[in-house]
A = this chain, B = another copy of it.
Amino acid sequence: MDEIRKVLLSVPLFKSLQEDTLENLIRSASLNTHTKKKILFIHEEKAERFFLIKSGWVKLFRETLEGDQAVIDILPQGHLFGEMSVFEGGVYPYSAEVVDKSEIISLPTNILKSEMEKNHDFALAFLDVMAKYRNRQDNEIEHRVIQNAPQRIGCFLLRLEKEEKDGIVRIHLPYDKTLVAARLGMQPETFSRALSKLKKETGIRVQGAYIEMDSIDPLASYSCIACSSEFPCGDLGKTGCSS
């Protein structure tokens, strides 16, 4: 229980919850461990619960009748998803699948809904989160339209956690390349070839999931030419909330 409380409190959106609501949420929470490929919910299903990732990775996506898949996002630890049912409609806006061993907390949305109606601060916090999310989505559309494959990869890398030592920048891909490809809306083959091209163009070095470079500048200028914003254009995954 205390563990769940700790995780909940780490979510920005929940900072403005009233104490009794928080208690209420915690009492109704359930923590489950899931393995790869577990489907948590399906697009357009009636949504009665929403989720919080304690650890692991979850893929959000939509699927056409023909089986083509559009990956919306891949979320790490600390992110909410499926909370949209608070609004009129109350169906999941996409499907969710665990892509790596994960601990997932599930919570009933009706508590969220009633909190939103009675707690003004919480409503404001929710608005704020939605606004941030919206910015992300706007950028996402732009990137998918304007950037080519190598640039999309570059832009993705630039927004990942970076580690700098002795003037060498190191980046670690957070999940396997096939998934990154899907996240960026391209085929694994295209990803592989585009990454090679990126190597040639910007001098980055790739060793499996590890990437390093002497400076991020070549990467930034190569990728960000095809973007409406200049380089430090915002981090991935800082909204604290994403579905």
Report the stretch among A60-68, A98-106, A210-218 that lies at the interface: A60-68
User: Which residues of chain A from 7 to 47 have a CB within 8 Å of any chain B CB?
Assistant: 43-44
Chain B neighbourhood of A140, CB < 8 A: 141
Question: Once bound together, how far apart are the Cα atoms of A227 and B64, in whole Å?
Answer: 5
A126 contacts chain B at the CB level, 8 A cutoff? yes
Question: Once bound together, how far apart are the Cα atoms of A134 and B134, in whole Å?
Answer: 7
- Contact at A66–B225, with CB atoms within 8 Å? yes
The residue that A145 contacts in the complex, of B70, B88, B128, with Cβ under 8 A, is B70
User: Which residues of chain A from 49 to 108 have a CB within 8 Å of any chain B CB?
Assistant: 62-66, 68, 70, 72, 84, 86-89, 93-94
The residue that A146 contacts in the complex, of B68, B86, B133, B225, with Cβ under 8 A, is B68
Question: Once bound together, how far apart are the Cα atoms of A164 and B140, in whole Å?
Answer: 37
From residue A169, how far is it (CB to closest CB) to chain B in Å?
23
- Contact at B63–A228, with CB atoms within 8 Å? yes
- Contact at B185–A145, with CB atoms within 8 Å? yes
Q: Which residue of B lies closest to A88 (CB)?
A: B128
Chain B neighbourhood of A185, CB < 8 A: 145
- Contact at B137–A134, with CB atoms within 8 Å? yes
- Contact at A84–B146, with CB atoms within 8 Å? no
A138 contacts chain B at the CB level, 8 A cutoff? yes
Assembly of this chain: how many copies? 2
Most chain B C-beta atoms within 10 Å of own C-beta, residue among A63, A84, A128, A138: A138
- Contact at A226–B64, with CB atoms within 8 Å? yes
Chain A positions 130 through 161: 1 when the CB is less than 8 Å from some CB of chain B, otherwise 0: 11111101101110111000000000000000
Question: Once bound together, how far apart are the Cα atoms of A229 and B130, in whole Å?
Answer: 23
A116 contacts chain B at the CB level, 8 A cutoff? yes
23 contacts between A and B (CB under 8 A): A44-B229, A62-B142, A62-B228, A64-B225, A64-B227, A64-B228, A65-B227, A66-B225, A68-B226, A70-B141, A70-B142, A89-B135, A93-B135, A93-B138, A117-B124, A120-B120, A123-B124, A127-B127, A127-B130, A130-B131, A134-B134, A137-B141, A144-B145
